[in-house]
Structure 1
Amino acid sequence: MPIRILPETTANRIAAGEVVERPAAVVKELVENALDAGATRIAVTLEEGGIGRVVVEDNGAGMAPDELELAVERHATSKLPEEALLFRIATLGFRGEALPSIGAVSRLTLTSRPPDGDAHALSVEGGRKGAVMPAAGAPGTRVEMRDLFYAVPARRKFLRSPRAEAEQAVEAVRRLALAWPEAGFRVTNDGREVLSLAPASRETRIHDLLGPDFAAAALPVAAETGDLALAGLAAQPAHTRATGTEQHLVVNRRPVRDKLLRTALHVAYRDLIAAGRHPVAALFLELPPEAVDVNVHPMKTELRFREEAAVRGLLIAALRRALSAGAGVAAPALTAYAPRPGWSAWRRPAPAPLPPASAAAGLAEMQLALAPQPAPPPAAALPLGFAPPRPAAPPEAAPAPADHPLGRALAQLLDTYILAEAPDGALVLVDQHAAHERLTHEALRVQLIEGGVRAQPLLLPAVVDLPPADCARLLGFAVELARLGLEIEGFGPGAVLVRALPALLGAADPAPLLRDLAAELAAFDEAMALERRLDAAVARLACHGSVRAGRRLTPPEMDALLRQMEATPRAATCSHGRPTFLRLGAAELERMFGRR
C-alpha cells in the first residue's frame, strides 16, 4: 500500500485519542484549563456519566473573540510565553491539544466573556469549526461537550456504563480539588449533586475529601532538602485500604499517579502493613519546574524527575520519620495547625525520630521474663460447686500517667490479650504476641544496623533435617544469616547444623525457624535487594523469638510490655502489618450500648 498523507480531520481524530480517552479525561482537561485561568468557582455538569453531555463553567479570566477562535486551533496555547520554557512548565496544561481534541470527536460549544468585554460563543462539530457569534454569559468561560465520540463510533463502544464513567469523572475532580483547596467545586450527575466543596484551607479540604477516619489516623509529614519540599499527611499503619485509590500524590499542584512516588510510599510502609493492603496518604511535593518533566504521558499523570534518588530518598525518610512514633501516640487533629498562606503552612518541623537504641533499651531486661516457658501443670479436678482459691487481690493501682497512652494493665484475657485502661478511661486491648514481635523486630534491626545481631552459641549444635533444596537455599545465604546471629553450616545432603542463634531469641527451637526462613527466601526474586531479604529474615526471627499466645504474664510483665510499646518505633503494628492493639473509647462504648 503506498504511503499517503491522511486527511486533516482523520489525523485530528487519531491525535484526539491520546488526550480524550473517556468523559473523565474531558472533565480533567477542562477543569485544568479553568484553574489555569484563575477560576475560584468551577461547576461540572454530567449527563449519562459524561457520555451524553459535559458542561464545565468557571469564573476565571475569559477570552476575547479572537482568542476564542484560536483556542480550538491545534497547537495554540496561552501557557507558554516562550518556546524556551518548554521544559519549565508552571501550569497544569500547555500543549494546546485539549479543546481541538475534544472538538474533533464530539459537538463542542465554547462561550466566554472577559472581565471587561462581551460574551461570544463558538461551536465545533467533529473537527469542523463554526463562526464566532455574540452570546449571553457571565464573566468566565462555559464549555459544553455533547455526544462524545459521535464522530468515532468505534471508540464509543469501548466506554463503560454511564455510572462507571461518572465515577471516574468525579474522581478526576476530587483529585484536582485536593491540589487546589482555594477553589470551590460542584459536580452534578443527571441532576443530582454528587460533590460540593467550598473554598477552604488545605487541611479542611483533606478532611472533606478523605473523611474523618483518615483525619483521626493521620500523621503529619514534613521534610525539606535543597530545592525539594514535602508536606502532607500519612495514615497510621493500621489505617489501610484494599487498593491504592486513596494515595493522593500532588507535585507542583498537579495530581499524579507516578510510579516512583507510589513505590517510595510502599517502601516506607513495607514492614508495617499486611501483604495486599495499601497505605493512605495525601502528600504534596514542591520542586523547581525545570527539575521535573511533566510531558512524559499525554494525561500528564506520570513524571520524570531530574534527580530521582533525591526525590525517592526524601519521601521514604520523611514517611519513616513520621511513622516512627511508639504505640498509642495519638495522631494530631487536622485543625491543630493554623493555616498559613500557601502550601508552606505544612512545612512544619517533623518530630525528632526516636534514637535507635530506644528500641532495644530495656528489652534485654524483659527478654528473660518473657522468654517462652513451659505451660503450668493443669489444676487438679475439684468437686462440683467448688472453685479454686483466688490469690489475694493486689491493691488498687493508681491511674496511668498522661505520658503512658496505653495506660495500666488490668488483666490478661485468654492468656493472649492484655486489657489496659488508658489515662482518658478508654479500654486498650493488646495482642501480646504481636506486640512483643514488633519489640523484638526493632531490637534485632537496631543490632543489625550497628554491625550485626548478637549471637548466642549453642552448648550442643542442633541438626535440622530439611529438603535438599531448602538446605541449599539457606546455605547460599549463610553469610547474610550470620549477620543476623544465625550461624549454620552444611551437614550432609539433607540437613543443616545450627551453631548459634540470635541472643534475643533465647532457647528457641531452630527447626521451625529454619523451615520458615527457607520458605521466605524461596519467595524472593533473585534480583531482590539484599536489604529487603534481610528485613524479611529479621521479621521471621522476631516472630519466632516473641512471647506466644497462651503464655500467662504477671502484672509487672504486662506493664513492662506496654511501656516498651510506647517507646518503640512503629509498635502500632507487628512485623506482618497486623495491629498490635485496639482502642475502645467512651464514644465507641456509648454507640455499642445505644447511648448515642
Structure 2
Amino acid sequence: MSKEDLKLAFTRHATSKIHELEDLNSISTLGFRGEALPSIASVSMFTAISAEIDSKGNEIRIHGSEEKSFKPSAALIGTTCKVQNLFYNTPARRKFLKKPETEQAVINSMMRRFMLSRPEVAFKMMSNNKIVYDVPKQELSERINAIYGSTFKNGILPVELTKDPYTVKGFTGNLSLIKKRQGEQYIFLNGRFIKNRLLNSSIYSAYQSLIQRGEFPFFVLFLEMPPELFDVNVHPAKLEVRFINEWQIYHVIKTSITSVLQDILKVIPDYNSYQHFPAHSSKETEPLHLEKAPSGSIAQFEQAPHKRIDSEFNGLIDKSDPQIQRAHLRMESTLDDIKMPNEELQPVSNHIWQIHKKYLITEIKSGIVIIDQHVAHERVLFEEAKKAIEGQGFPSQTVLFPQSLKLQPEEYESLLEITHYLNKIGFRFREFGENTIIIDEIPPDINWGNESQIIREIIDQYISVKKIDPSFIDQIAAIYACKSAVKAGDQLNPEERIHLVDRLFSTDHPYYCPHGRPIIINLSINELDQRFERNT
C-alpha cells in the first residue's frame, strides 16, 4: 500500500472495493465493508508495515484505535500485520474467550479454509513455537494431501461440471473418507467459504444410497457464478449467502457429484492392509509424553456400569426377570458344566450350523436358537474391552508393517488426552513428525489394517462430547468391538462357532449388543407348529 492508503486503511468504512453504488450488486472480493482492520486495531496493539514496488515502506502502530506512530520503515514489497495483546483494553470481552485448546481449534479450522481456498499461496502457521501448518504453493489435490495426509491421496475424486452460468470444480471423497463427524465439508463460492444447508444436502443426497444416516462425506468444491446472481450482504461474517435461484444450483451440484459417483470401483472403500511410507528408525521418532494413568476426576468412572448399578441402586432391578435368569443359567452351564434346571434350554445337539455366513443355528429341547454372529462377537469384545479398561489392559501384538496416521492439530491434542484408554485396549504408538503417529502395536482381536480407522472414530467420538465419562468409555469399547468383530459374510469353522457361542454365554448380557440390537432369537416348537398349521 502507498503511504496514504496505509493510513486510510484504519479508518472505519474506508474501502477500495466499492467506487459506485452499483458495485454492491457485483462484489467479487472477500471483504468490502472496510471494518476488519479498524475493528481489530480497536481491541489490540496493531502494527502494520507496507511497501509498494520501487517505493519506501511505512509503518503504522495503533493501540486501541489510537494512532501511536506513523513513520518510514524498511520493508519488503507487500504488507505485514502484527496483532498483540488482543482484547487488552476490553477485559469483559476477554473473559468470554474459551479454553486455549478450543480457541486454537477454531483458528486451525479457519486456516484450513484459507489453505484450501488458495492452493496457489504458501502458508505457514505456528502456535506455541510449534509448526502447525507449513505448505508450499501447490495444486489443490496436493494441498488436500498436505493437510489431511496420504490416506486422502487415493480417496479423492475430481469433480468438474459446467452448466451455464454455473461452474463446479473440486474434489469429493470416496467411501474410505466417510466420517461420523461433520467438519470436512467445504464449499467456496467465487473463492469465498460459505455455509449453506441446502447445498450441503444436495451433496448428501447424491451419496444417499451409499452412506448411512449420520455419516458425512469429504468434499472441497468451488462454485463459480456471476456475482449478480447472489447476495453476500446478508450475514455479519459473510458465511451465508442468498441465491436468486438456489434450487437450480442445488440440482447442478447434485448432478456434478452424482456423475462422479457412477464409477463404483473408485467409490468403494480402498483395501489397504498397510500404509507404505519411507523407512525410518526409532531415532527419527519421539515417544509421546503422556500421563500413564487417567486423571483423578475420571478414575471413578472406570467401573463397569452393571457393577455400579448393583452397588449403588441395589433393589431397583428385577432380578427375577426370566431373560436375566436364563442368561445366568446358560452362563453357569457353559463355565461350570452344571446341568441347567430349565430343561427347555438344554441343547439336544452338539452341532452349530452357519447360515449364509451370517447366522448360527443350534437345536434346543424347546425349539431352535438363531444367533447373529457379528453382534454376538461384538458383545463378547465389548465386555472384554470394558474389563481391560477397568483393569490391567489388553496385551498387544506387534504389526509387521506399522501404519502412519496423520491427524489435524485438534485431533492430535485430543489423542493425547485419551491415549491412556487406547493403551488399555492394546494400541501402542509414537510420534512421527507433525501431528502424525506410527501405530506399532494393536489389540489381539482386530483385523490388520483397521487400526487407523478405529483410532480415528474414537477421536471423533471424543471431540463430539469433549468429556470422559461412563458413556464415553462405553463408546470406546463399542467402537473397538464393532470394528474388530467377525462380519456377516465371514466363514467360521465348527470349532470357531462353538467357541463364539461359549464366549457369548459367558458374558454378563448375552441378549443384546452394545448398540441395542438383539443377538439371539428363540423359535419354540409351538411357534414352528403354528407356522406349519400343525394341531399337535
TM-score, length-scaled by structure 2: 0.50
